[in-house]
Amino acid sequence: MDERQFLLELKNQSQAAYGKLLDDYQKKVFNTCLSFVPNLEDAEDIAQEVFVEVYNSVGNFKGNSKLSTWIYRISVNKCLEFIRKKNTKKRFGFMQSISGNAIPVDRTLYFTEFNHPGIQLENKEQKEILFRAINELPEAQRIVFTLNKIDGLSYKEISEITKKSVSSIESLLFRAKRKLKEILTVFYKKEGR
């Protein structure tokens, strides 16, 4: 079945087409979510939200890009939305603690046991340090770095997902690598390693 026929069946809410969509993209979407939010439970929840969004909005998909690009874009947006909400809760918790009405803050967001296929480090501590550093990157750099270095997407694919030029992707990736090196250098100097 070609992509056009597959899309038509998805738009007609065919259960078989939706099952094929899950078979083809479930692992990719989950890995992308895990790249941005390295917490198994949160990544699973976000991946489910992605497929609900795809199912509900496939009728609006115009086909200007490949289906996979559109699904990646939804995945990245859902992850960033989750991170923004988490950060807002943390800021709110900080403000509450200043005023004396402290609310416990979830500190497990990025530090649970997981095995991401793009990052195969033996040491759990190294994984945590790396993802903490990636999380400190500016959003555009974090997206490009994650999609390229962790999910293994090409510059062209990232360009289609982010709607930025390939030269912009190259520049963002270069700056992300430089910034990560600075962050990790400072961390290791501070830790005396």
Residues forming a β-bridge with 116: 119
Residues forming a β-bridge with 119: 116
In the chain, residues under CATH classification 1.10.10.10 are 115-193
Output the pTM of the full model.
0.70
Tens digit of pLDDT for each residue in 67-117? 999 999 999 999 999 988 887 655 444 444 444 444 443 434 444 444 555
Q: Which among 126, 90, 127 is positioned nearest to 107, based on CA atoms?
A: 90
Please state, rounded to an integer, the average pLDDT across all residues of the chain: 81
CATH annotation of 115-193? 1.10.10.10
In the chain, residues under CATH classification 1.10.1740.10 are 1-109
Tens digit of pLDDT for each residue in 143-163? 999 999 888 899 999 999 999
Banded pLDDT at 44 (limits 50, 70, 90):
very high
d(CA 92, CA 105): 9
Q: What is the dihedral of CA 153, 186, 39, 149, to 10 degrees?
A: 10
CATH topology of domain 1-109: Rna Polymerase Sigma Factor; Chain: A (1.10.1740)
